Amino acid sequence: MVSDAIKNNKSYYIKSLADDDEFSRLDAWYKVNFLIENNILDKDYVVNHKDLFLDLLTTDDEMVKVHAWVLARRFADAGYISKEDIEKRKDYLLPYIKAGDLTAWWNADDLINGKYLEPDYLRKYKDIFIEKLHDSDIGTLTDAWHMIPLMLRDNIINRDDYVKYKSHILSVLDQKNPYIRLNGWETIINLTEAGVLSREDVAPYKDKAGELLKGDDIIKLTSLFDTTVEKFKERLKNIGLI
């Protein structure tokens, strides 16, 4: 139950949604669903004041802008903002897409999946995304591969775009850093379950899977990804690695 102290501070939340400090304003807009669900604000108020949020999608503050776009799909689905609102401001996300910012790619794909943008918005820049599939930075490479099922789902890329780079994601399993390696395992299992990688692709790593299950890494992995050894073994079994 929401405390009376929170409910009695309605004026504070209303002021926060219009804060001159854009980071503070963004933080307040992240709480909008909570405020509506607990009858502190109503949807009509949010819709009528949506320009206070929409201004954050076009601000010069890059950090605020990118994180505001994270909310765009959620707010459009809830009816706080419209497809037209997104269309009118979509060019403000493009510099980050062209720069290969994967958060921006995720945001744009989320909007495409919600039918608020057309697939061609990203498709014409797909070579930028494909470059990330063999990036020298392992974290970037792994994050990009993790997004492939989304890119395929929304017809941004096709199989021919990534198949020749499979060795790059599989090589992550050879990394010495345990957390990079474990993140690689989770990504590779997800990709195999999704059909992006095949059983034949991962078969050469059967011995490594066995080593993983016998060592301390399995404890780290189950903690890192909030799972159990039994569930992880079942996933390995389903893709032919045990």
Please tell me the least confidently modeled range out of 165-169, 192-196, 206-210.
Answer: 206-210
Confidence label for 2 from pLDDT (cuts 50, 70 and 90): low
Q: What is the mean pLDDT of the chain?
A: 93
Average pLDDT over residues 163-190: 91
User: What is the per-residue pLDDT across 81-93, written as a single tens digit (0 to 9) for each?
Assistant: 999 999 999 999 9
Cα–Cα distance measured from residue 215 to residue 55, given in angstroms and rounded to the nearest whole number: 51
Question: How many percent of the chain have pLDDT more than 70?
Answer: 97
Confidence label for 7 from pLDDT (cuts 50, 70 and 90): low
Cα–Cα distance measured from residue 191 to residue 153, given in angstroms and rounded to the nearest whole number: 13
User: What is the per-residue pLDDT across 201-218, written as a single tens digit (0 to 9) for each?
Assistant: 999 999 988 888 887 778
Domain ranges of the chain: 159-242
